[in-house]
Chain A
Amino acid sequence: MKAYKFEVRITILLTVLFLLAGNVALIFSIFPVEGYLFGFPIMYIVPILSGWFGIFILTIVASRLGNRIDEEIEKENKHQKTLGKEKNSEEGA
């Protein structure tokens, strides 16, 4: 169940992070801020930067974690298989 919990938690966490990074405007619509960044109003440029570089960075993280989830599941599959064989040989003996 360890790999399963890892898979579910990571998927929920990444989904939430992706939604937040892609919807910074929603956060600003609730908590407006004043001021400028790089010459643009903060509430304009931050959602754009987050919607590009924020998402890009998250895809790199998601890609690595996705590969790790596969490895963890594979590991647990092998473990179950070994347990099954041991059980069979014990029953046979």
Chain B
Amino acid sequence: MGEEAWQLSNPLLGIAAIVVTFLLFYVVGYISNRKSTSVTDLYVAGASIGPLTNGLAMAATYMSLATFLGITALILQLQVPFIMLWIQLILSIPLITIIYGTSLRRMGAFSPTHFIRERYGLSASIIAALFMILVSIMYSLGQMIGIALAFETVLGIPYLTGLIAGGLIIVGYITIGGMAGASNNAAIQMVIIALMFIVPLGAIMKAVGGSGWFFPPLLYADMVPAMLEAMPNFFDYQFSPKWYVSLIGLTIGSLGLPHLAMRIYTASSLKSARSAMVWFAFIIGLVFSATYAMGFVGVYATETQGVAISPGDADKLTLILNLVYNPEWVTALVIAGAISAGLSTLSGNLLAIGALLSQDIVTTLKPGLKQKTKMKLGYAAIFAGGIISILLAINPPAFLVVSILWAFGLAGVTNAPLIIVGVWWKEANKFGAIAASVIGGAVYIIVSPFVFPNIVLTGHSVTDGMGLSGAMLAIPLSFILLIIVSYITNRIPQLSAKLTTKEDHALIERIHGWKDIHPKRYNSTAGAAITVIFFAVIAIWAIMPWNM
């Protein structure tokens, strides 16, 4: 098979599948949204969502278009190391829940930035919010690229037309839907995503001769010998332990993602939030494993079955496999599933942008605004965020996952340290927070290949582009700055006089569930010193040669 234009020969099938899926979402969104009367309802659905629905919604928010399109493309490019990279991303919600999610929920925070405002004050929260908007936009960018590719495959239209048409429809939906619609929808989307991904994968496996097609996520061992014969290095780890250490930067990054943490605030109670985490782990593990299987089958098909996929089409691997091995109506359903995946993540991202701009920036600067104006502002921000991500996607990077993972790194540098240290160490203050966020963020952006292509740490384009190397340097730097600057400024009377130390201590005790204040709790200097030494070692290691 040579290079060809991959598209549905009958676009009506694809259009019908997308229209039916969207109608379903619009109806659920409309019904749920009738109940949404306040700004709290818009963002956290009145904190009334049950554990299964919330667990499914968490999974759907996390399960972006990358699952359908991006991951498989990079498995084709990097093979097993990329699978190993993706595995640890399951840690996001569990770690958010145990490290700070329940504390922030107890505080009644809308978003991580809300916590940063209460903990570090106005300036730090505005800086964090601006970085978070950039994170959400970069994250949305990856989704927009995927949506454009999906529409391109359905209609056989150029990428740009697919981007504008698909992007506008989706941004419109989210602006109308709000979080209540999104939470109920996300649960439905998760079921659709799982079915539309795993069932067709089983059919593809059967077509290429796999005997474990009835449970594709794990039963493809019989294809291993043929794979090893065709591509003996498929299972090689390829990179040094340093590369695998740098993956933890993505885990920390996922702790700073605003749209994920928001899902914890929609839970009806702390117990319910913890149960949702269990559901999340089970569901996400299932779909992630199926994605690795799809990547494996994709490489298998190219190596043993003669399916040729040009580099430019790598992101379409899942769709191409369906076009080759399954009936067209199945591909149409897979495309609808892919768009659902993009939709749920985009709605999470755009709602986070809405909350960041209207709640965390404008309302902070102008607290006297009317509730109705805040709502309007929120809707406007959601819409504007969507339009910006469409515009950025006009000239996309080679792989859609790259921008998503780069966003993870930025969140890990500018947001996660502020929250983690802020929740667990009373000494952390606004000077430390601002230094960490601004300097850490600037270093991360400078060493990324997008701004100064010559200033990079590894020279390995995917490693630098995904922010792995940058995060391994900038995240430790951010933690170190936060701790050291806070420690010093707390001991300079002129500066410490400007801090709200007493209130901060009370806040930390309260969000952990304490009714009194004990000076020894959450105040360990030894713990802070160990953290600084540990991260200093990592940061030094990051700037040493990577030999890639």
Pick from A28, A38, A81: contact of B515, CB under 8 Å? A81
Nearest-neighbour CB distance to chain B for A57, whole angstroms, equals 9
Give the residue name and chain of the B residue nearest to A4 (CB). B521
Interface size class of A (residues with CB under 8 A): 35 or more
Assembled-state Cα–Cα distance A23/B456 (Å) = 25
Give the residue name and chain of the B residue nearest to A49 (CB). B218
Whether B270 lies near A70 (C-beta < 8 A) is yes
Stretch binding the partner chain, chosen from B29-37, B92-100, B308-316, B445-453: B92-100
Residues of B within 8 A of A51 (CB): 87-88, 90, 285, 288
Residues of B within 8 A of A48 (CB): 83, 87, 218, 289, 292
Residues of A within 8 A of B91 (CB): 18-19, 22, 55
Whether B235 lies near A15 (C-beta < 8 A) is no
Whether B241 lies near A59 (C-beta < 8 A) is no
Stretch binding the partner chain, chosen from B12-20, B139-147, B243-251, B406-414: B243-251
With A23-B247, A51-B90 known as contacts, the answer to whether A43 contacts B237 (CB < 8 A) is yes
Whether B235 lies near A41 (C-beta < 8 A) is yes
Residues of B within 8 A of A66 (CB): 97-98, 102, 270, 274
Pick from B99, B245, B289, B514: contact of A11, CB under 8 Å? B99
Assembled-state Cα–Cα distance A30/B242 (Å) = 9
Give a binary string over A1-35; 1 marks a CB under 8 Å from any B CB, 0 the rest.
Answer: 10010011001001100110011111011101000
Whether B244 lies near A29 (C-beta < 8 A) is yes
Whether A26 lies near B244 (C-beta < 8 A) is yes
Whether B516 lies near A25 (C-beta < 8 A) is no
Assembled-state Cα–Cα distance A60/B94 (Å) = 10
Whether A47 lies near B95 (C-beta < 8 A) is no
Whether B235 lies near A55 (C-beta < 8 A) is no
Most buried by B among A7, A29, A32, A51: A51
Whether B518 lies near A56 (C-beta < 8 A) is no
Pick from B83, B97, B292, B424: contact of A62, CB under 8 Å? B97
Interface membership of A77, Cβ < 8 A:
yes
Assembled-state Cα–Cα distance A30/B239 (Å) = 11
Interface membership of B271, Cβ < 8 A:
yes
Pick from A26, A63, A77: contact of B516, CB under 8 Å? A77
Assembled-state Cα–Cα distance A47/B83 (Å) = 9
With A25-B237, A28-B237, A38-B218 given, can you name 19 additional A-B contacts, CB distance below 8 Å?
A4-B518, A7-B512, A11-B98, A22-B90, A23-B244, A23-B251, A24-B87, A25-B247, A29-B244, A39-B224, A40-B221, A44-B83, A48-B218, A51-B90, A55-B91, A60-B278, A63-B274, A66-B102, A73-B512
